């Protein structure tokens, strides 16, 4: 996981290292409404710092950061607004330092140790997996803003795993009862390996590429712009609300927003 987050970080950094300030660079609008490239990076840096605090000072995280969440000081848009005037070079330096600290903190922690977060506590392994997912998802927004097509990698397994594991949360976030019946997920990975979750032989199934599934569960593509194949009403319902990230339901993307192309 440390190797994978370092590789995902390097890929993201290659997109932003030479960006100029202004509308062709740090201020380029991304598909996330109201957010520029700079807001994607400040978001990652802020929550990297928070993840380091949760791993190295869990009591301090709980005592200081959770009350800030409760009174509205910590929200994606609030954070974006707070750091919007920061020059690009400073944003890059902040992100680099926060990511180095994240890697250092999680390289030495027991993966099974429970750490606090803004929702429920989670294992250190799950916390780092979430940082990989966030890096990839916000990196997709930046790639879309800059017109860059990224090559999918085996690191998508982390994103897909969170997407599958968040099925119950997706229902709860939308105020819906969580179904008891399982869904089988079969994804073709980069390199043509098959990744699977859930029991075989059940009537509700999702099949397709891991890339399409990850784009959908992170809400970076509309379902109609993927080639995922869905069988069964519960699988169909899940994919209409799926989200791999914490917080309230996102707005997602509109059908055809990216020329209607299938990834």
Query: What is the predicted pLDDT for the residue at 32?
Result: 94
Quick one: DSSP state of residue 121? -
The CATH number of the structural domain formed by 2-146 is: 1.20.120.450
Tokens of 156: 């998508």
Query: What is the predicted pLDDT for the residue at 52?
Result: 98
Give pairs for 30-33: CB < 8 Å, separation 24+. Answer: 30/141, 30/142, 30/144, 30/145, 31/141, 31/144, 31/145, 31/220, 31/253, 31/257, 32/141, 33/251
DSSP sequence for 180-216: SS--EEEEEPTTS-EEEES-TT-S-EEEEEHHHHHHH
User: What are residue 209's phi and psi, to 5 degrees?
Assistant: -85, 150
Query: What is the predicted pLDDT for the residue at 248?
Result: 87
DSSP sequence for 224-260: GGS--EEESHHHHHHHHH---SSSSPP----TTTTTT
Could you identify the residue written with the tokens 């397994």? 157
Query: What is the predicted pLDDT for the residue at 263?
Result: 41
Specify the 3-state DSSP secondary structure of 155: coil
Sorted by where each begins, the domain ranges of the chain are 2-146, 156-241
Distance separating alpha carbons of residues 37 and 155, to the nearest angstrom: 22
Assess contact for 101 and 156: CB atoms under 8 A. Answer: no
Give CA angle at 160 (155, 161), nearest 5°. 100
Q: First-to-last CA distance in the chain?
A: 25
The CATH number of the structural domain formed by 156-241 is: 3.30.1050
Which residues of the chain form beta strands (DSSP E)?
A: 114-115, 122-123, 184-188, 194-197, 205-209, 229-231
Residues of the chain predicted below pLDDT 50: 260-263
Query: What is the predicted pLDDT for the residue at 3?
Result: 97
Tokens of 73: 């000081």
Largest Cα separation within the chain, whole Å, is: 54
Tokens of 98: 């926060």
């Amino acid at each position: 996981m440390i190797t994978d987050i370092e590789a995902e970080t390097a890929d993201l950094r290659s997109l932003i290292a030479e960006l100029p300030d202004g509308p062709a660079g740090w201020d380029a609008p991304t598909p996330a409404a109201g957010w520029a490239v700079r807001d994607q990076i400040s978001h990652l840096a802020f929550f990297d710092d928070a993840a380091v605090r949760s791993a190295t000072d869990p009591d301090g995280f709980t005592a200081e950061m959770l009350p800030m969440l409760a009174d509205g000081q910590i929200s994606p848009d609030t954070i974006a607004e707070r750091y919007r005037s920061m020059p690009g070079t400073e944003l890059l330096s902040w992100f680099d330092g926060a990511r180095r600290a994240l890697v250092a903190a999680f390289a030495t922690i027991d993966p099974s140790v429970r750490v606090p977060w803004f929702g429920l506590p989670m294992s250190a392994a799950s916390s780092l997996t979430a940082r990989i997912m966030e890096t990839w998802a916000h990196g997709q927004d930046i790639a879309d803003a800059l017109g860059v097509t990224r090559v999918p990698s085996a690191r998508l397994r982390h994103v897909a795993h969170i997407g599958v594991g968040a099925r119950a949360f997706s229902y709860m976030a939308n105020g819906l009862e969580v179904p008891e019946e399982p869904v089988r997920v079969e994804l073709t990975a980069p390199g043509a390996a098959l990744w699977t979750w859930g029991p075989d032989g059940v009537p509700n199934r999702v099949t397709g590429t891991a890339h399409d599934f990850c784009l959908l569960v992170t809400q970076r593509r509309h379902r109609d712009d993927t080639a995922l194949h869905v069988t069964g009403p519960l699988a169909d319902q899940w994919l209409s609300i799926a989200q791999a990230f914490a917080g309230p339901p996102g707005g997602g993307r509109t059908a055809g927003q990216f020329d209607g192309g299938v990834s």
